[in-house]
A = this chain, B = another copy of it.
Amino acid sequence: MNDQAIILFAHGARDPDWAAPFGIIQQQLQAARPQVQVMLAFQDFMTPTLEAAVAQSAAQGAKRIVLVPLFMAQGGHLKQDLPLLVGKIRQQHPQLELQVMPAIGDAPEILRAITDWVLRGASYT
């Protein structure tokens, strides 16, 4: 039974193309974990909201959700807004187990991947 979900939570933007990289990550995760629901959710400008994505996951049988904030770093969005939103979601869905991952910039391996990418891309004479 499909009782696990991953929700990728991104900032959102007015430009619809903005979401493309997050869609690629979603597809890669879905390919690696075909039995898990993998969804996108957005804070602003784009839909679904995080609350709507959680409600949809729960309606489809999710009992455990991993929430991945695809933000570069910990600022007001992750330190203040997200905990409030997660608190509200926990009240709405007390039966759900909710794991919140850190920001991308908290992962040393991703910072290293960015550094290496800059070193490869920045061509020097």
Residues of A whose CB lies within 8 Å of any CB of B are 4, 6, 8, 10-11, 13-15, 17-22, 24-25, 28-29, 32-33, 36, 64, 66, 68, 70-76, 79, 99, 101, 103-119, 121-125
Q: Is the CB of A118 within 8 A of B13?
A: no
A61 → chain B closest CB, angstroms? 15
Chain B residue with the shortest CB-CB distance to A80: B15
Sorted nearest first, the 9 A-B pairs with minimum C-beta distance are A21-B105, A13-B75, A18-B75, A113-B113, A66-B122, A28-B115, A15-B75, A18-B73, A21-B73
Chain B residue with the shortest CB-CB distance to A70: B72
Q: How many copies does the complex hold?
A: 2
Per the bound structure, the CA–CA distance linking A76 and B123 in Å amounts to: 26
Q: Is the CB of B32 within 8 A of A75?
A: no
Per the bound structure, the CA–CA distance linking A53 and B19 in Å amounts to: 29
Q: Is the CB of A73 within 8 A of B19?
A: yes
From B21, B68, B119, A111 is in contact (CB under 8 Å) with B21
Interchain Cβ contacts under 8 Å between A and B, 15 examples: A6-B122, A13-B76, A15-B75, A18-B75, A21-B73, A21-B103, A21-B105, A21-B111, A22-B73, A25-B115, A29-B119, A36-B124, A64-B124, A70-B72, A72-B72
